[in-house]
Copies of this chain bind each other. A is one copy, B any other.
Amino acid sequence: MEKIASLPRAHAETSASAHERVYRTLRTRIMHGELAPGEALTLRGIGKEFGVSMTPAREAVRRLVAEGALFLSSSGRVSTPELTNERIEELAALRALIEVELASRALPRAHMALIDRLQTINGVVAEMISKRDAVGYIRTNLEFHRTLYLRAQAPAMLAMAETVWLQLGPTMRSLYGRLGRTEPPHNHKLIIAALKAGDEPGLRLALRSDVTQGLRLLAT
């Protein structure tokens, strides 16, 4: 960690600043459920892993805390959040509200190419389920939703939805671990069918089910 400094973003390796790189990586990990709820992180540890000093690590962590992806204890320690059932219910309700709206806005713009792509992704989702790959399942499932919502041309709403996903990330993992293992993505098929038929009420219903069903079955 000496003062070599002036290596001019060698080879456009990552193209972004250090804290951006750290932030992106951690964000993806959290959103995809690669970190367990309550898992602790340290600034020096993050810095060491990414080969940067504490400064960019701190900035990345602060950003994630601001988005609700990480929990900051009163003594300043950071960890992934352990959500209460009430909070999970709230976040599920938020998902339903925002994503139903996004899907509704995407519907009139959904052409065949999009539906084909969704079907392809859905195949990968099914594959991940059969492989019991929790992280892969979460990732492709979110990709399915994001692909649909991108058509809504509503970046602020999409960002909001992603923030909710982020907050649910660590919980998702342990959730889909205890959930029914092999159910096929039935709701996804309903979503695709509603898109094909241009059936907005059906789309809203299918989406609400897809978003809500998994999260409600925790009961704990």
A contact residues vs B (CB 8 Å cutoff): 55, 58-59, 62-68, 86-87, 90-91, 93-94, 97-98, 101, 153-157, 159-160, 163-164, 167
Query: A167 contacts which chain B residues (CB < 8 A)?
Result: 156
A-B contact pairs, 5 of them (CB 8 A): A59-B62, A63-B66, A64-B66, A93-B157, A160-B163
Q: Is A90 within 8 A of B157, CB to CB?
A: yes
Closest Cβ of chain B to A99, distance in Å, is 11
Number of copies: 2
Closest Cβ of chain B to A29, distance in Å, is 17
Expressed in whole angstroms, the Cα–Cα distance for A21 and B24 within the complex equals 27
Q: Is B58 within 8 A of A91, CB to CB?
A: no
Expressed in whole angstroms, the Cα–Cα distance for A91 and B94 within the complex equals 15
- Which residue on B lies nearest to A17, using beta carbons? B76
Closest Cβ of chain B to A27, distance in Å, is 10
Q: Is B101 within 8 A of A98, CB to CB?
A: no
Q: Is B87 within 8 A of A156, CB to CB?
A: yes
Q: Is A160 within 8 A of B94, CB to CB?
A: yes
Given contacts A58-B59, A86-B153, 17 further A-B contacts (CB under 8 A): A55-B55, A62-B62, A63-B66, A64-B66, A66-B66, A67-B67, A87-B156, A90-B155, A90-B157, A91-B156, A94-B98, A94-B160, A97-B98, A97-B101, A160-B160, A160-B163, A160-B164
Query: A65 contacts which chain B residues (CB < 8 A)?
Result: 63
Closest Cβ of chain B to A53, distance in Å, is 12
Q: Is B90 within 8 A of A156, CB to CB?
A: yes
Expressed in whole angstroms, the Cα–Cα distance for A62 and B55 within the complex equals 12
**Which 4 residue pairs across A and B have the least CB separation, nearest first?**
A66-B66, A90-B156, A63-B66, A97-B97
Query: A87 contacts which chain B residues (CB < 8 A)?
Result: 155-156
Closest Cβ of chain B to A93, distance in Å, is 7
